[in-house]
Amino acid sequence: MKFVDSTEVFIKAGDGGSGMVSFKTARNMPKLGCDGGDGGHGGNVVLVGNRQLNTLSNLRYKRQYEAEDGQRGGTSNKTGANGEDLVIPVPLGTQIIEAESSRLINEVLGHQQRIVVAKGGERGLGNQRFLSSTHQAPVEFTEGTTGESAHLRLELKLIADVGLAGFPNAGKSTLLSVMSSAKPKIADYPFTTLVPNLGVVELKDRSIFSGEAFVMADVPGLIEGAAEGKGLGHAFLRHLERTQLIAYLVTAVNDEGVAPVDAFKTLRDELARYSPELAAKPVCVILSKIDLIPADERKAVVKKLSARLKKLGFDVLPISSVENNGIDELKRYLYDRAQDYKNRTLTGTPTIWDLDKSALGKIARRWLAIPGVRLELTEKESQEVLEMQHPDIRKLTFNG
């Protein structure tokens, strides 16, 4: 379950510092020779992979980036200071594309991988560089060169950190629209969502973007029997397999005669029947539509429902998308859980997920085992990748 997060930036590396024209002087000794130093190199603009970042949101609020210029050379053969590199952290998997031509320049694949996207200008030379036996008092010097500039488009194919699981009309699409800028279809009839929707959820502190964000997916509603293919069945249960955290959305009021706790148990059973590994993922329960409970009863009802669900061993977060009640707390909770999952599972060694074990899968694994990339390929995906690499792969594999 992927979508493309994209932003454009204008970058400019630092200019090189100019050389200095200078001559040594002292009282009554005016001709001691030249001593003009070289300038400093301009700073580079560097993209650095950071596995703690989930989206490109940290670049969306600033479009122009400029590294520091090198300093001019000094007297006494002193070299000017080099300009500092401008380091821009980006998520793993970020593609660097030339905006005008759409040409792929490079891709950030590993944690702490550094890619120079604009090289700083070269230093200028001071007059002492032009000193020779026949040229004792040079006044020549060179200017520093101009740093590179570029207009880049950064693209990131995102996999959802949090997947919303719930019955039709539980309020998943509404919640996604409130927490992110996504605009899923919302209506008062079942199965409004027919395809997964993804949104980037950004955390803000006093209306200022904090740089913290995660990706949330609204998966089409499940019904009892989804594991056997009823409703939208396997077509969308498989999308939850790629998420890091599953948030079960259950309404705080009986939905078509089904109590919230029973609804949660049914959803859990469906996921467990479809895939034990899916049911074993980190879980929380979002108690939605608490605005439908009368105001004078709300606190007591929510407390009672939360206590019953917490007895099952899960965190419970009551919210109202309509009243925007509990949304900020939910954002923080989901972000912290997603980050905790990454801290526990991501190490310096690339993690290769279970792949297709066939001959095709083994070849695909050899070709795609790139450092810093996590892969999960089904048999069909393995075949598609291999056929792109070698059109006659089926003949080679099965006749070999």
Q: Give residue 19's pLDDT.
A: 95
| The predicted structure's pLDDT at residue 244 | 78
Count CB neighbours of 109 within 10 A: 16
For residues 245 and 79, the model is more confident at: 79
Average pLDDT, the chain: 77
Residues paired with 201 in a beta bridge = 214
Helix axes 172-179, 327-345, angle to 10 degrees: 90
Q: Is the pLDDT of residue 235 over 60?
A: no
Q: Which range has the worst mean pLDDT, 97-101, 329-333, 393-397?
A: 393-397
Q: Are 353 and 376 in contact (CB under 8 A)?
A: yes
Residue 20 banded pLDDT, cuts 50, 70, 90: very high
The pTM of this model reads 0.56
d(CA 386, CA 366): 11
All domains in the chain, ordered by first residue: 2-157 (2.70.210.12), 160-345 (3.40.50.300), 359-398 (no CATH)
Q: For residue 243, which of 108, 54, 99 has the smallest C-alpha distance?
A: 54
Q: Using the CB atoms, write b or e for 151-174: b if 16+ within 10 Å.
A: ebbbbbebbbbbbbbbbbbbbbbb
pLDDT at 207 (0 to 100): 52
Identify which of 273, 247, 271, 272 has the alpha carbon closest to the alpha carbon of residue 171: 247
Q: Label residue 383 by pLDDT band (50, 70, 90).
A: low
Tens of pLDDT, residues 206-229: 555 566 888 887 766 454 443 344
What pLDDT was estimated at residue 158? 62
SS3 278: helix
Handedness of CA 315, 233, 279, 160 (dihedral sign): negative
Cα angle: 24, vertex 28, 31; to 5 degrees: 35
Per-residue pLDDT band for 185 (boundaries 50, 70, 90) equals very low
Distance CA 241, CA 124 (A): 57
In this prediction, residue 142 has a pLDDT band, given cuts at 50, 70 and 90, of very high
Higher pLDDT, 314 or 368: 314
The confidence band for 399, taking pLDDT boundaries of 50, 70 and 90, is: very low
- Confidence class of residue 355 from pLDDT cuts 50, 70 and 90? very low
